[in-house]
Structure 1
Amino acid sequence: MNDQPDNSQAIRASDLAQDLRTLIGKLKRRLREQAHVGDLTPSQVSALLRLEKDGPATASSLARAEGMRPQSMGPVVAALESAGLVSGAPDPTDGRQTLLSLTDACRKWVEEGRAARQDWLTRTLQARLSPEEQDKLAEAVELLKRLDDD
């Protein structure tokens, strides 16, 4: 009989996890819509974000970081170069390799996308949640942060 509370808590946690995953997925899609990603594939977006976070990289090191084969990264990089989002320059330590980095146009596009997502979420919070509900959400965000603590 002592297993009953533990089982109901496990079921509640599982239901909560499913609801949270579903909601986060929907929220991510809504935020993506605000960023105007256009025709970029998830791999292209991921590569851009990696270059933004980690700085210039070779295509092969970028492929390793993204868990891709170097041959698969080639078309991703080519599309990003064609779109004017990344540029290549000789590696100063090994001229045989090319270091890829974000272009100024890409950095501006990333900033504008973040600003659009921030603006949409701010307006949505203000329009749909009372100040008291926003306080509750702030508390929930603190709890969610604990889920990501390493």
Structure 2
Amino acid sequence: MANAQNEQQFMQASALAQDLRALLGKLKRRLREQAHVGDLTPSQVSVLLRLEKDGPATASGLARAEGMRPQSIAPVIAALEEAGLIKGLPDPADGRQTILSLTDTCRKWVEEGRAARQDWLTRTLQERLSPQEQEKLTEAVELLRRLVDD
């Protein structure tokens, strides 16, 4: 009897995991739509987010952090520079290297994208969920946090 119950609990957890992955993926796509990422590739977005999070870096440092070969990151950097989203300045410690950082234009674009996503999600929560449902979702978020926090 215990084995059958364990098997049923495992199957329920497995189905829940599948539903969560699908739902969170869909939420992520909807939020991305709100940010108006435009024609940026996932690699370009990843580099911008890394520069925002970790600060200025060299191309080789970015390649390492992104798990890419330096030759593979070069076109990503070139496209972002051409779009005016990153700029490179000589490294004061080693003039042979270039330190890449976000432009003010990019920082503003990132902030506007975050604000758009926040506004959309706030409006959607208010429009589609009752206060009681929002409270249930708050409880669910706490449970999800326990899944990912170390």
What's the TM-score, normalizing by structure 2?
A: 0.99
1:141 and 1:2 map into 2 onto residues whose CA distance is: 31
1:6 and 1:63 map into 2 onto residues whose CA distance is: 45
Query: Residue 42 of structure 1 corresponds to which residue in structure 2?
Result: 42
Query: Residue 145 of structure 2 corresponds to which residue in structure 1?
Result: 145
Query: Residue 57 of structure 2 corresponds to which residue in structure 1?
Result: 57
1:79 and 1:144 map into 2 onto residues whose CA distance is: 37
2:135 and 2:127 map into 1 onto residues whose CA distance is: 14
1:92 and 1:148 map into 2 onto residues whose CA distance is: 39
Give the alignment's Cα RMSD to 1 decimal. 0.5
- Identical columns (%): 79
2:115 matches 1:124: no
Q: Secondary structure at the residue paired with 2:101?
A: strand
Gap regions ≥5 residues in structure 2: none
CA offset digits 1:103-127 (Å, max 9, x no partner): 0000000000000000000000000
Query: Residue 79 of structure 1 corresponds to which residue in structure 2?
Result: 79
AA paired with 1:24?
L
2:85 matches 1:69: no
1:61 and 1:124 map into 2 onto residues whose CA distance is: 39
Q: Which aligned pairs between 1:83-122 and structure 2 lie closer than 5 A? A: 83-122=83-122
Task: Give, in angstroms, the shift of residue 93 of structure 1.
Answer: 1.4
Q: Secondary structure at the residue paired with 1:38?
A: coil
AA paired with 2:119?
D
Query: Residue 4 of structure 2 corresponds to which residue in structure 1?
Result: 4
1:110 and 1:143 map into 2 onto residues whose CA distance is: 29
Task: Give, in angstroms, the shift of residue 131 of structure 1.
Answer: 0.2
1:5 and 1:60 map into 2 onto residues whose CA distance is: 53
1:60 and 1:113 map into 2 onto residues whose CA distance is: 28
Gap regions ≥5 residues in structure 1: none
What's the TM-score, normalizing by structure 1?
A: 0.99
AA paired with 2:149?
D
